[in-house]
Structure 1
Amino acid sequence: MDQILFWNVRGAGGKTLKSDISDLVNMNKISILIICEPRVQSSPHLDDLFNLGFDKAEVVEANGFSGGIWVLWNSNVVHLEPFKSFPQAITMKVGNSGHQPWLLTAIYASTYSHIRNFLWDHLDFIHTIHNLLWLITGDFNEILSSSEKKGGSSLCRIAGFKRWVDRAAMIDMGFQGAAFTWTSNSVKERLDRCLCNDDWRLLFPEAKVHHLSRMSSDHCPLLTKLMPCCNMSRTNPPFRFHTMWMQHESYNDLVTDSWNSSSGDIISKSQMLASTLKKGYQDLRDREAAYWKQKSREKWVKDGDRNTKFLHLTTMIRRRRNKIDGLLNDTGLLCEDPMEMKAIAVNHFVNLFSAHEEIDSRFIIPLLFPILDQATISQLASLIKTEEIKANLFNIGGLKAPGSDGFPAQFFQKHWDLIGHDIVGLVLDAFRTGRIPSGLNHTLITLVPKCNSPQSMHLFRPISLCSTIYKVISKVIVARLRPLLSELISPNQVSYVPGRHISDNIMIAQEMLHKCKNSTGKKGFMIWKVDLSKAYDKLSWSFIEKVLHEIQLPDMMIKIIMSCVTSTSFQVVLNGDLSNSFSANRGIRQGDPLSPYLFVLCMEKLSHLICSAVEFKKWKPFRASQSGPLISHLFFVDDLMLFAEASESQARVLKGCMEEFCNLSGQSVSFDKSAVYCSPNTCRGEANLISKVFGSPITNDLGKYLGMPLIHSRITKFTYASLVDKVQNRLASWKSKHLSMAGRLTLVQAVTSSIPTYAMQTAKLPSTTCCQLDKLNRNFLWGDTAEKKKIHSLNWSNVCKPKSKGGLGLKRTADMNRAMLAKTSWRMVQRDDGLWCQMFEKKYLQRNSILDDHYTKHTGCSSTWNAVLYGAQLLRSSLCWRVGNGNLIKFWCDNWTGLGALSTFALSLDTINSEALVKDFWNNDDWNFQVLLNCLPTQIVDQISKISLSHSGDFSDKQIWQPTSNGSFSVRSAYNVAIDCDNDSDVAWKGMWCFNIPPKLKLFAWTVAHGRLLTNV
């Protein structure tokens, strides 16, 4: 196995360094050694290195204290020959026996950006003169994203390096070990890395990079293990159904015969079918594209464009990223043996799912759940219908990861006519007995890394893979519970409650922080951002049951819910292999559809505890404005923010509430991972006392809340740099090489519809950020490469039109941002009853409307409110009143005729009373035409005469969104308004996309229709 060691030694003349290099070479069996920044000439020192087993060298000498690269190798192990040398790079051709030749480039980039630009030009040249597999390792003196730097100036050196990586379509190989490779005082950066092209990654799919411990240099050594491809031996792999089997000509007969010939319940029949399918697996391997489509987890891939190499490569990269090479045991020793790693994982979860301390049996939290009416209880207890079962089965994503049985929902959906009767029988029996059948609730735990190259179990997120049939039972329960949540859950908790949005709490948190950081006077305020440790995993089963009884759910419902929770057994999936089975006596599963709803109901008891403390004047919350609602807490599942006046006594009250809840529920707070922010007018001594009480550090920056940065200062392009990084990672240029334009279009649509739109709901993105995102989308769509920038055959504004208008349906970021903010403004106009709306109305609007032309923006508004006003500008342009009884519509100021404000048509300004209502111009059962004709032109009065008021007064006035036929707001129609595009479809364009042909042919037809087909290229 070839192993390459790269190290920026910061001086090769020291005795300590020679000892360090000797240890590294001997411990890791290095066949290629690369040293940079030696600060000395090579001749007196190479002999010492040759004594370590190397006999060949290629050198770029240092120029004083700058530059210098030494490449040494053992010619008996690996064959290298010089390819190209440059002051900042050495490129060698590697020609080992057993695989095809490839290039290795060692980099030591200049610390000066203008000199580094010559390096990118040199690498471009190397890229154009060969078509070999390519590995690059070295110190690039630049980072690729803002997340690769901690501390220091926010001005990141990323532009030149990032552009070159995009041009060359290189793949970052990732790493194991420390996140940063260079440290200087309080600044840390990932300056050293390994890159490769796609073909090199395909040849060495198991290759990995280790950031070794820092030694006598301020840079980490980089160890690259090539690890040739080999099939992993698995002692106990789980069965997995593959969708490609469905395409085999004998598949349907095989399934039907197996199912009909098997006896027992659906669990037994599924096991027999799995055994039958495994035996015939070798005969069903001729459907490569369908196989890789499922394994890639790229949900956006559409039938018609196979993109097989892309799917193969993405799967390989995902597998390498998710593979666990070693785990730390209890003594801190890294274990790489598969059996030892499985034992470590099992022990971790056995301890985690075991209640070590007796939970306080007293249930002393005030009973604040509202009493359910008898009709609701009867509905909860009513018999389960076949239609419910079928609907919930078909609501499960067809290719969602299956559980221990290995069958995804797509299998059961396809064969509903064959096995639907068995499914219905099992589900009905479970609800009748209140018991989950034995084996159905067996769960596989897959480990999702929380960070790069985790080696400790607490750095993995356990996701439970439940069986599809169990999910049907769970989703039937959820369908009955979910409508009750808006009544049961206080407005401070917005997760999983119908009609509430995650953006609600983001806006409240931003506004409360704005209040905090601008506070003056004697009274200070604090925000405690609380981190619950393993919240799902530690929830007490007895606590869950007590909460369900307090809600007064029917006994049958409580019984089946508790069976869902307590009948579980587990196995860990580690690198595709199953561990031993184990059970639990506490916790709920991430991956069970029921779990988040149970968790939210249990967290409501903490809300009850807080509300009681507020009511009895123990907890002193604060307001965002003088007349606004008091805010004591915000919950989104296990994300907690607590608000109170800043004092030591208040800190004790808050901590006391948390400790009392934890004693009852089994939860625990990670106090050291939590953080507290105090307003600037809080004296330092008081803040330190607060921090001591909480056991949480004081911070000047609360970081992110629910994935959004909390704004502490002026918004700049760096505020949302992580957003650009995420999109760039998803649209990596190596993907463009292996996708047709139809595939690239689909990927851009998937990325832009998921990543940026979340931020767009509550923030106006800087124009620089919008331009960066558009540029990423544009370049990826047209397939720019290292060799040349592709011709963008159509203007981006036209590409971003709807398909029915001749575009491709992509969205310009700034316009989409405006449309998303218009949706938030629309919710205010519709009198959303959430806390966020009450807060904004009391703080900024008082008795005004967000749509009033005469509304004057307050000075010192928060960035969130400015964003809402920005959306309101778009909303105002297309809103109209639908006249009911005329009690709400201002006659002169509001648009209720479709002509805009009537004040613009007034015959005399003296006649305008801005507070006059439409009903004031109605006389008994008709318009008061005498008054109307005195103040408006005849043609306007004729238009008004076509509108009638509700005589009975039963119908109130209603604001409607004119661009849609039903008057309801939609983001799609708002986007069309933003780009000044009407909603009418062009029949020719719309018809072209309806043809049943592969997407690539549709795009070809689209190009031809625009007259942009390239010739002589």
Structure 2
Amino acid sequence: MLKDSWNSQLTTPQALAGLREKLKRWNREVFGDVQKRKEKLMEEIKKVQDLLELTQTDALLSKEAGLLEEFELVLEQEEIIWFQKSREKWIALGDRNTTYFHTSTIIRRRRNRIESLKGDDSSEGFPSLTREELNDLGKAFSSLDVNCAIKGMGKYKAPGPDGYQPVFYQSCWEVVGESVQRFVLDFFALGQLTEGMNDALVVLIAKVGKPEQMTHFRPISLCNVLFKTITKVLMLRMKKVISKLIGPAQSSFIPGRLSTDNIVLVQEAVHSMRRKKGRKGWMLLKLDLEKAYDRIRWDFLEDTLTAARFPEKWVSWIMSCVTGPSMSLLWNGEKSDSFKPLRGLRQGDPLSPYLLVLCLERLCHLIDYSVCSGEWKPISLSRGGPKLSHICFADDLILFAEASVKQIRVIRRVLERFCVASGQKVSLEKSKIFFSANVSRDMEKLISDESGIKSTRDLGKYLGMPVLQKRINKETFSDVLEKVSSRLAGWKGRCLSLAGRLTLTKAVLASIPIHTMSTILLPKSTLESLDKVSQSFLWGSHSGQRKQHLVNWKKVCSRKCDGGLGIRASKDMNKALLAKLGWRLIHDQNSLWARVVVVPGIRWVIGDGNHAKFWTEKWLLNKPLTEVVTGALPHGVLDLRVCEFWQNGSGWVLDRIEPYIPAQVVLQLRSVVLDNITGSRDRISWGESANGEFTVSSAYSLLTNNSNPRQDMGKLFNRVWHVIAPERVRLFIWLGMHQALMTNAERQRRHLSDSGICPVCRSAEETILHILRDCPAMDGVWIRLVPAGKRHAFFAKTLMEWLYVNLGDDTWVGDSGWSTQFAMAIWWAWKWRCGNVFGVQGKCRDRVKFLKDLAIEVTLAHEKAAEQQKKQVGRVEKQIAWLKPAAGWVKVNTDGASRGNPGLAAAGGVLRDETGKWCGGFSLNIGVCSAPLAELWGVYYGLYIAWERRATRVELELDSEMVVGFLKTGISEYHPLSFLVRLCHGFLARDWIVRISHVYREANRLADGLANYAFSLPLGFRFFEVVPDSVNAILLEDTGGTAFPRRVRL
């Protein structure tokens, strides 16, 4: 149907419309009702299995297999249907739970149903863009831009009027891709949208628990994916310059700016105002713009884009997308009559947030002008610090001014001027004024009457955070605990297995409390309560019924490789998030916040060596060099700087270093050089991440690193999480490793039972190992499953040894791996035991055959999922060969290698002309360093040789995508490799042409050979005028065009 609908004679919208009708007919006539098909299949399977209880024939077994295969397909279809309808984003694949998805959908529909609504009456100066920035904006869009926009959309985002979700385009890209690219690029060429393409459906999302008035809803537009592709392409290009056009007062949607910036500023302002003394008082206005997106006038938007000096064609493109849509309201799932708006931006369009921010910047310009002219008196929070007049986050405005009637009139004039021009309206009912402590009540009343805005002693919440004006206690953040509790305690959570509850717990803890934790240290009682709620939900407790907590919470919160489940403890997560805030303060020179330093994870990135201390600070290793010294250091050297051990022209003064540190550390030291060329200073870097940038995840790992309970068990736990088995089976094995299965022996230990005897054989204590292996009930299973030659060792091991050996056994037995058979066998050993204890007996004619078939089913499901991932990545086999450079060009191939990463490292490179002739090569034995650093040394010396050989046109090829990215787009100055990248950029900026490209290893074999050859050479650089014998064969193969197969991404 897809291929028949898609042909070159139809436009993309026409093809989509035709396909939609065919799919509707196919769904009605062929696909049918999934629920009815499922029920019919269940009846047929039961009939066949009842007959098999009486007699087994090949025909019946074959029919059972066919019906089960069809039933599996129907279950998968049913799961996908309810998954899409449920709109759940957290769920992990592998724990099929249609009941949960169905329940989630029903709840969502009930919550979103709208019963009734009541009326209100109860019945100047953008910065100039540089020529390079304007050229980048004006650069023609390509098919790659379209691909990036489509792939960046969420698969199951709600469809627009045409009914197609992004997943349709993403999964059918091979068929529809060319047509979609042509449609989008035609718009940019002609500047005209197809009729109806920017139409949208409007859904009303409730902002409060029981909405009744129009103001209680947020209108969200559901746009066609083709239209969103156009606006997302524009947005991705605009995103590159938006931070320059928008001043520091706005934080929303601007790269590098966060809502936490505004939250901290408001907290600091309120804290300062509560302590103000003297005659001059101050006021803070918290303003709400009523339906900010919907009120933007289109002529004002066009004027704003022109004022921001966007190219004329950009203004035309944006206005074509914004103006003239036809919209319909989705009311309880039904589509209303269409209407045509005369103003407004659509929430749901990727471009709209950036357009709103640009329009609001015009208000910032008016305020800045009033401040500069002396009319507006801004507040100063600290002596000598910057003065604050306003901060914005989307449509949330905070204004600061001196508390006087004259000032409130200035503010009113500025706001009225902006509102008249833009169409905006300030909601006086939702706005508030907060006064400093030294403002009299009479003055407060005068200002409030003049403005029409009520004064308040409590600002409530700002950007989801309470504005604190008193001592923090557990009631301050009780709403966070309530949200987490209600999300976890919902009755639909009872539909989940332990694996599903684990995933939901992680998702809730990683979303709801994170925003609050990011700016303030929550009370200890609140953090403990968050963990208690999560802990109870994980183990299945709910109102009226408490379940046993089988494993200590501290163990549960450790990493998976350390025996935990990877849940993050609230207390440590709170600290890690605050550390991120502190880290941003360190590197924000213009910040208003107090300087905070996060000591444990900080290390130095060496520039000129004038700041970092050689012996006592972290710069070379992840610990100070004093911790690895092999002898007593001379008196008075601990405070010496790194530069004092370096001599220009000759490098490190090793006779002052080598006697005191191990030889391996000396080798690592040799890979570091001081920056006496660009004059870069030493910088503070985050030593817990590879790129020197702070991450919450690495901070959390640092905080919890010393409390991991089972670090010696890492290999065993890794085998648990990598065995091919359903997630619930892995969790069962994890419980067994922690001795947390409720056997009779464990129940007796916990004083829940008087006897620890096995209820099946009644001849031995019921331990975990007894149930899974040693009980006579499992004898027949293991004797048939385990080969005769392995039985003695199999039955002789302790529990941990037994699990370790069998979970790591990759031997294939029949059509599945032994580790999978083993995992499924012990899982069902437990289930059979529980069936015996609780009197639930299932039909199982042949347990061994059942387990083998189950293992095959699990293996096939795993392979199917892996195959699906491969399809999404899209790989094809290609022949890869080294290619000669174009006429008049030379080609430099470089490579780096590290045996250990970091470990012994080397680099190599070669220079060849347009005929493939050897023009020179090198090998560099570096010492000890990481693989990326070795790659960069290879690039540096490759460029150096090409420059010395007076090459004017160079093609530089290497097989590290990371390093190619560094060379093309730059690197953070806090990155440990920043110095070498700057040196390479210095070469690239010289008077020559250098093209940098990534190639696969098969096209870089000669450089790789020279790098490996360097390991056999002494430390240092070695240049080769002629080809070394060890790589001569590779050179001949490259010159002859020898190719090698490789599966590459499409």
TM-score range, shorter chain: 0.5 to 0.7
Corresponding residue of 2:105: 315
* Amino acid corresponding to residue 878 of structure 1 in structure 2: G
Structure 2 residue 316 is matched with structure 1 residue 591: no
Counterpart CA distance in 2 for 1:920 and 1:392 is 52
Corresponding residue of 1:224: none
Counterpart CA distance in 2 for 1:776 and 1:377 is 53
2:714 to 986, 994, 1000: 986
1:302 to 89, 92, 107: 92
Corresponding residue of 1:257: 4
Structure 2 residue 607 is matched with structure 1 residue 884: yes
User: Secondary structure of 2:705's partner?
Assistant: coil
Structure 2 residue 695 is matched with structure 1 residue 970: yes
Shift of 1:929: 7.6
* Amino acid corresponding to residue 117 of structure 2 in structure 1: L
User: Secondary structure of 2:292's partner?
Assistant: coil
Give 1:348-359 correspondences, 5 Å limit.
Answer: none
Counterpart CA distance in 2 for 1:897 and 1:271 is 63
User: Secondary structure of 2:510's partner?
Assistant: helix
Corresponding residue of 1:278: 24
User: Secondary structure of 1:790's partner?
Assistant: coil
**CA shift digits 1:806-859 (9 cap, x unpaired):** 211110000011111111122223x225x5xx212xxx45xxxx44xxxxxxxx
**CA shift digits 1:636-690 (9 cap, x unpaired):** 1101001112122111112211111111111111122210000011111111122
Give 1:540-619 correspondences, 5 Å limit.
Answer: 540-619=297-376
2:153 to 396, 403, 424: 396
Counterpart CA distance in 1 for 2:92 and 2:372 is 56
Give 1:202-601 correspondences, 5 Å limit.
Answer: 254-260=1-7, 264-282=10-28, 283-286=31-34, 287-328=77-118, 366=124, 368-601=125-358
Q: Is the 8 A contact 2:615 2:624 kept in 1?
A: no
1:832 to 569, 588, 608: 588
Counterpart CA distance in 1 for 2:81 and 2:440 is 63
Shift of 1:927: 9.1
* Amino acid corresponding to residue 33 of structure 2 in structure 1: R
Q: Scaled by the length of structure 1, what TM-score is found?
A: 0.64
Counterpart CA distance in 1 for 2:510 and 2:164 is 30
Counterpart CA distance in 1 for 2:645 and 2:451 is 62
Q: Is the 8 A contact 2:376 2:411 kept in 1?
A: yes
Counterpart CA distance in 1 for 2:584 and 2:242 is 20
Shift of 1:330: 8.1
User: Secondary structure of 2:294's partner?
Assistant: coil
Q: Is the 8 A contact 1:531 1:670 kept in 2?
A: yes
Q: Is the 8 A contact 2:432 2:454 kept in 1?
A: yes
Q: Is the 8 A contact 1:798 1:807 kept in 2?
A: yes
- Structure 1 pair 1013/565, CA: closer, same or farther in 2 (3 Å)? same
Counterpart CA distance in 1 for 2:102 and 2:371 is 57
Structure 2 residue 480 is matched with structure 1 residue 723: yes
Q: Is the 8 A contact 2:616 2:638 kept in 1?
A: no
Corresponding residue of 1:161: none
Corresponding residue of 1:90: none
- Structure 1 pair 937/672, CA: closer, same or farther in 2 (3 Å)? farther
1:814 to 571, 575, 578: 571
* Amino acid corresponding to residue 305 of structure 1 in structure 2: D
Structure 2 residue 531 is matched with structure 1 residue 774: yes
**CA shift digits 1:449-483 (9 cap, x unpaired):** 12233232222111100111111001000011001
Structure with more of its chain in helix, by fraction: 2
Shift of 1:759: 1.3
Q: Is the 8 A contact 1:903 1:912 kept in 2?
A: no
Q: Is the 8 A contact 2:120 2:213 kept in 1?
A: no
Corresponding residue of 2:739: 1011
Give 1:831-850 correspondences, 5 Å limit.
Answer: 831-833=587-589, 838-840=591-593, 844-845=594-595, 850=596
**CA shift digits 1:301-336 (9 cap, x unpaired):** 223222222222221122111111223368855xxx
Counterpart CA distance in 2 for 1:913 and 1:625 is 38
Counterpart CA distance in 2 for 1:330 and 1:948 is 71
Shift of 1:555: 1.5
1:958 to 666, 680, 683: 683
Corresponding residue of 2:929: none
Counterpart CA distance in 2 for 1:526 and 1:937 is 65
Shift of 1:928: 10
Shift of 1:939: 5.6
Q: Is the 8 A contact 1:464 1:592 kept in 2?
A: yes
- Structure 1 pair 928/979, CA: closer, same or farther in 2 (3 Å)? closer
State which drifts further: 889-898 or 434-443: 889-898
- Structure 1 pair 982/370, CA: closer, same or farther in 2 (3 Å)? farther
Q: Structure 1: which 5+ residue stretches go unaligned? A: 1-253, 334-365, 852-871
User: Secondary structure of 1:305's partner?
Assistant: coil
Give 1:680-691 correspondences, 5 Å limit.
Answer: 680-691=437-448
- Structure 1 pair 330/972, CA: closer, same or farther in 2 (3 Å)? closer
Counterpart CA distance in 1 for 2:732 and 2:435 is 59
Shift of 1:269: 1.9
Structure 2 residue 383 is matched with structure 1 residue 637: no
State which drifts further: 415-424 or 886-895: 886-895
Shift of 1:903: 13
Q: Is the 8 A contact 1:891 1:902 kept in 2?
A: no
**CA shift digits 1:977-1014 (9 cap, x unpaired):** 11125999934433433344322222223223333333
Shift of 1:879: 1.5
Q: Structure 2: which 5+ residue stretches go unaligned? A: 35-76, 748-1050
Counterpart CA distance in 2 for 1:973 and 1:903 is 23
* Amino acid corresponding to residue 1015 of structure 1 in structure 2: T
- Structure 1 pair 893/654, CA: closer, same or farther in 2 (3 Å)? farther
Q: Is the 8 A contact 2:243 2:254 kept in 1?
A: yes
Counterpart CA distance in 1 for 2:191 and 2:349 is 18
Identity %: 40
Corresponding residue of 1:174: none
Q: Is the 8 A contact 2:613 2:642 kept in 1?
A: yes
Shift of 1:271: 1.8
Structure 2 residue 725 is matched with structure 1 residue 997: yes
State which drifts further: 512-521 or 889-898: 889-898
Task: Decide which structure has the larger Cα Rg and report it.
Answer: 2
Q: Is the 8 A contact 2:251 2:258 kept in 1?
A: yes
Corresponding residue of 2:384: 627
Counterpart CA distance in 1 for 2:348 and 2:627 is 57
Corresponding residue of 1:244: none
Counterpart CA distance in 1 for 2:412 and 2:115 is 40
**CA shift digits 1:313-369 (9 cap, x unpaired):** 221122111111223368855xxxxxxxxxxxxxxxxxxxxxxxxxxxxxxxx2x21
Counterpart CA distance in 1 for 2:633 and 2:142 is 67
Higher relative contact order (CA 8 A, sep 6+): 1
Q: Is the 8 A contact 1:932 1:941 kept in 2?
A: no
- Structure 1 pair 693/402, CA: closer, same or farther in 2 (3 Å)? same
Counterpart CA distance in 2 for 1:761 and 1:496 is 18
Paired residues in the alignment total 693
User: Secondary structure of 2:722's partner?
Assistant: coil
Counterpart CA distance in 2 for 1:332 and 1:648 is 33
RMSD: 3.0
Counterpart CA distance in 1 for 2:654 and 2:151 is 62
